[in-house]
Amino acid sequence: MSTEIIVGLTGGIGSGKSAVCHEFERHSVPIVDADVAAREVVAPGSIGFTAVVQAFGEEILSSGTIDRKKLRQVIFADETKRATLEGILHPRIRENIDNQLAKLDSPYCILCVPLLVEKAGYRNVDRILIVDCPTEIQIRRVMERDDLTQAQVKAIMQTQATRDERLRVSDDVIENSGEFGELEAQVQILHAKYMAIAELTRREQQ
C-alpha cells in the first residue's frame, strides 16, 4: 500500500485548515492530521500522557484527561516548558503519522501539519498547500471559536510563522476568507490537479 504524493497542508491558527480538510474528504482523499495524532499520543493511559503529566503536574488535567487550554497557557508563558513539551510529543507524533501513512493506498493524501513551516517542513511532503486568509479574519475566528481575547490570539500567532513566510514556501494556496462555495471550488480544482500529478508520478515510476 502507498500513495503517489503527499500534500502537506498548513496555515495559521484560524485560517480554516479543518474546513479545507473536510472538503478534500468529500472527494474521498485520506487525511492524516497531526493535531489528531497529538491527541492520540497523550490519551489517558498512554506513555505520552504519563510523560506530560510528570513534566507539568496534575493541574493540567480536567476529568482525567489533559486539558489542552490549560497546557497551552503553561507553555506559552515559558519557552523552556514549550521545548520540554515538544521533546515529549514530537517524536511520538512523527511515529504516529508515519504509521498512518504506511497504511494508505490512494493516489494522494493530505497531511495536515499546523507547524509545517515553523519546523522547516516534513520529510515525507511532496507539495505544500497553504490555507490563507487575512490576519484580522484569523483573529476574529479564533476569538469566537476559543473564547480568547485579542491579546491571547496575537500571542499564539507570534509563535507561528508569519503569513508571508508561509506563502513564500507554498506550492499551492487556498484563499479562505470568503464564502463556503468559493472554498469548495478551489478544493475541486486542486483535487483534479493532485490526481493528475499522482498519475504522472505513477507512470514515471513504472
Domains within the chain, CATH numbers bracketed: 1-30+107-206 (3.40.50.300), 35-103 (no CATH)
List of the chain residues with pLDDT < 70:
1, 120-123
The predicted-structure confidence for 50-79, as pLDDT tens digits, reads as follows 999 999 999 999 999 999 889 988 887 788
Q: Quick check: helix, strand or coil at residue 109?
A: strand
CA distance 112 to 20: 10
Burial class (CB in 10 A: 0-12, 13-18, 19+), 40: middle
d(CA 64, CA 77): 23
Q: What was the pLDDT predicted at 24?
A: 98
Going through the chain in order, the beta strands assigned E by DSSP cover 3-10, 31-33, 61-62, 65-66, 106-112, 127-132, 172-175
Confidence (pLDDT) at 69: 85
